[in-house]
């Protein structure tokens, strides 16, 4: 087998050595792990991977230092002294340890708690925006729902009893949107491929992209073949309007339309520009003329 195989991850190998780590008869060192994996599975792993295997298995048994610290902190309690208003912190120490073991015993417990176990913290650290996005992704796909931060906050409270903040709800929407549509960078990277496929699948379609010296596009234009053909049967009047793009990179969407013989709106062409200005309109109208030509009244 290949040395240091990529599928033999630390997490996978830790499953093989976890019993050895629990057994006090074994001294589990990186050298021990390397020898065991070679002997039992014929896999040659490096020293650093063997060390990570031990850390991973140890975490599965004992937890991370952060988790252990949180666990220890949870055992701290307050005891009121004789002087009113004076408190002393008492914690578990070696006096509570069970002999010859790593376990502690609870000698006395106070059942009355100051806080209810039914009350959740306002902004739980495990309820991340990425986790929440999994619960709202179906709502985001459904056009019947207007998924706003307020909607997400209300849904998480109603369905799961979690109070999350506005910014976390907003980030959850962005995360779910990325899972569905991809990032703006990924989408713009596919623009040329999209236009190519548009021309391949729609005969007569006209497309063009203007590229600057930095390999970025300030303008883009396209008109479907069906729109170009249909223009010959429309009234000789074209209306052009723009709409603001509200994605990460902003810009404007330029739209041309006319009226057909049934007096219905008939879309002709579309374009993208960085803003409404003379240069963008001149380029758009130039491409418009190249695509659908001109007609006499």
In the chain, % helix, strand, coil (3-state, to 5) comes to 45, 15, 40
What are 14's two structure tokens?
């830790």
Distance CA 19, CA 240 (A): 72
Percent above pLDDT 90 for the chain: 36
The residue with greater pLDDT, 247 or 140, is 140
* Model confidence pLDDT, tens digit, residues 118-167: 444 544 656 788 888 888 999 999 988 899 999 999 998 888 888 888 99
E strands, the chain, are 77-80, 87-90, 206-210, 219-223, 239-244, 252-259, 265-273
Q: Could you tell me how many helices (H) and strands (E) the chain has, helices first?
A: 11, 7
The angle subtended at Cα 73 by Cα 72 and Cα 74, nearest 5°, is: 90
Tens of pLDDT, residues 7-38: 567 666 766 777 777 777 778 888 888 888 88
């Amino acid at each position: 087998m290949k040395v240091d195989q990529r599928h033999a991850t630390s997490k996978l190998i830790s499953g093989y050595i976890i019993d050895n780590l629990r057994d006090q008869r074994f001294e589990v060192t990186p050298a021990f792990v390397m020898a065991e994996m070679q002997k039992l599975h014929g896999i040659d792993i490096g020293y650093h991977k063997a060390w990570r295997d031990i850390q991973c298995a140890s975490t599965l048994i004992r937890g991370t230092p952060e988790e252990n610290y949180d666990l220890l902190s949870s055992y701290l309690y307050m005891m009121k002294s004789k002087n009113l208003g004076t408190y002393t912190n008492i914690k578990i120490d070696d006096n509570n340890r069970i002999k010859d073991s790593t376990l502690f015993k609870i000698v006395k417990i106070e059942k009355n708690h100051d806080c209810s176990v039914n009350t959740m913290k306002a902004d739980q650290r495990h309820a991340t925006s990425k986790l929440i996005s999994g619960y709202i992704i179906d709502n985001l796909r459904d056009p019947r729902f207007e998924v706003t931060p307020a909607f997400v906050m209300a849904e998480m409270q109603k369905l799961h009893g979690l109070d999350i903040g506005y910014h976390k709800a907003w980030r959850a929407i962005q995360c779910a949107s990325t899972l569905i549509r991809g990032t703006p960078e990924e989408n713009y990277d596919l623009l040329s491929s999209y236009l190519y496929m548009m021309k391949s699948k729609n005969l007569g379609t006209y497309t063009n992209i203007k590229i600057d010296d930095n390999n970025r596009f300030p303008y883009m234009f396209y008109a479907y073949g069906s729109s170009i053909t249909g223009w010959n049967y429309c009234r000789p009047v074209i209306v052009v309007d723009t709409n603001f793009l509200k994605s990460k990179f902003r810009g404007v969407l330029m739209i041309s339309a006319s009226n057909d013989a049934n007096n219905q709106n008939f879309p002709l062409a579309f374009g993208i520009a960085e803003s409404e200005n003379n240069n963008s309109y001149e380029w758009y109208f130039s491409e418009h003329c190249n695509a659908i030509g001109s007609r006499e009244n």
